[in-house]
Structures are given as structure tokens and as C-alpha cells.
Amino acid sequence: MKPINEVTSILTPLDRSNVDTDQIISKEFLKRIERTGFGKYLFHHWRFDADGNKRDGFVLNDSRFDGSEILVARENFGCGSSREHAPWAILDYGFRVVIAPSYADIFYNNCMKNGILPIRLPEEEVEELLAKGKADPVQLAVNLAEQTVTQPDGTVHRFDIDPYWKEMLLNGWDEIALTFKYEDQIAKYEEVTQRA
């Protein structure tokens, strides 16, 4: 996966809570056997009506946010289905960072495996970013090494991340290759527990 450290971009304010992965990528697009090409289907039914016309008022159809790499949403983002097609679609569309007060566990893990940085910020800070971002495009500077999100006026938001995942994301490591270094321990475990 692609390493990630600094991302500077305007934010896209998706002012919704409990956004489930069925909305992020609808089931009719899950039949492909590739990891790529899902971006054009991101939030399909919120972006397009039954005739394929863009729906007014949906934030991804607002050209002010074109090219944004930072998606900001409310709590429990990515709940529901485990489909990794959701982060694949988010990444393929162009987002590298998601900011929300909380995430569903499986979605959060899936982001980490794909070089997407899911940032947790307190609800009131997300509220502030959404409010400002909706009024006028706001450019944020995200720095994973420093664990900061910085607003144009210099306001800094600090976030926590597990050091293990931080290192993975910063280096873009292949987790499976790393795990292979523990092959002896895995074999020994199988022997001791008679799984061999």
C-alpha cells in the first residue's frame, strides 16, 4: 500500500452520522473481482437519482470540493457490512484521510490496510470542522508523524493512533510480509496446540 504522512487538502463536509458501508458502496457494485475502479460508485445512491442524474445538495456533487482528499463525517462512520469495497471506493475516489468522532471497528481496520488514515477527533472539534467546511472550503494540513490536523488559522487538533498502525501507514508496509517473519512462532504454536 501507498505510504501516507502529510496530506494538505480542502475538507469535504459529509454532515451525517451512522454512515453505513451499504451507502458508501452499494451491493450492486460488489461483484467485481478487482480492488480498483470502485471510486465512481462511491455513495452512488446519494450522488445520483434513478436516472443517473446528479442529486442537488449532496456534498460530493458540490464542485467547490472537487479534488478534496479529506472526508469529514459524524459518529459511527462505516458501520454495518465488513465490505472492504468501502475503503477501496473512498481511496479510488481520491480521499486519503477520513475524520470523524468514531468509526465502526471493521471499517477502521480496513482503512489501515489500504493506506487511508482514519482520524478520530472529539465531537465538538468535528462539529467545528463541519460548520466551517460547509460555509467555505477549508484547507486542512494533516500530519501523521506529528498526529496533527491544522486549520489555516493555525488551530491544531491532535489525534491518537495506535503506534503499530501508525508505523504501518507511514511506511506503507505489507503486513503479510512482516507476519512471515514470525513463521517459526506460528509453526511452533501449531505444534504445541496440535493443530499441525
Partner 1 sequence: MAKTIIDKIWDRHIVVGEPGKPDLLYIDLHLLHEVTSPQAFEGLRLNGRKVRRPDLCFATMDHNVPTVNRKVINDPIARKQIRTLAENCEEFGVPLADVDHPDQGIVHVIGPELGLTQPGKTIVCGDSHTSTHGAFGALAFGIGTSEVEHVLSTQTLWQSRPKTMEIRIDGEIAPGVAAKDIILAIIAKFGTDMGTGHIVEYTGEAIRKLTMEERMTICNMSIEAGARAGLISPDETTVEYLRGRKYVPDGDAFEQAAADWLSLASDEGAEYDKSVSIHSDEIEPFITWGTNPGMGAGINGHVPYASDFENELERDSFLRAIEYMGLEEGQKFTDIEIQHVFIGSCTNARMSDLREAARVIEGKKVRDGVRAMVVPGSRTVKKQAEEEGLDKVFTAAGFEWRESGCSMCLAMNDDVVPAGERCASTSNRNFEGRQGTGARTHLMSPAMAAAAAVTGRFTDVREQFAVHA
Q: Which residues bind partner 1 (CB under 8 A)?
A: 16-18, 20, 22-23, 26-28, 30-35, 45, 50, 74-76, 79-84, 87, 102-106, 109-110, 113-114, 162-164, 174-176, 179-180, 182-183, 185-186, 189-190, 193, 195
- Minimum distance from residue 130 beta carbon to partner 1 (Å): 11
Would you say 10 or 19 has its CB closer to partner 1? 19
Which residue matches cell numbers 467555505?
136
Contact 86, 107 (CB under 8 A): yes
Would you say 17 or 139 has its CB closer to partner 1? 17
Exposed/middle/buried for 72, CB within 10 Å: 0-12, 13-18, 19+?
A: buried
- Minimum distance from residue 158 beta carbon to partner 1 (Å): 20
- Minimum distance from residue 8 beta carbon to partner 1 (Å): 27
Would you say 156 or 178 has its CB closer to partner 1? 178
Which residue matches cell numbers 475502479?
37
Written as one letter, the residue type at 96 is R
Which residues, 6+ apart, have CB-to-CB distance to 132 below 8 Å? Answer: 138, 151
Exposed/middle/buried for 146, CB within 10 Å: 0-12, 13-18, 19+?
A: middle
- Minimum distance from residue 17 beta carbon to partner 1 (Å): 6
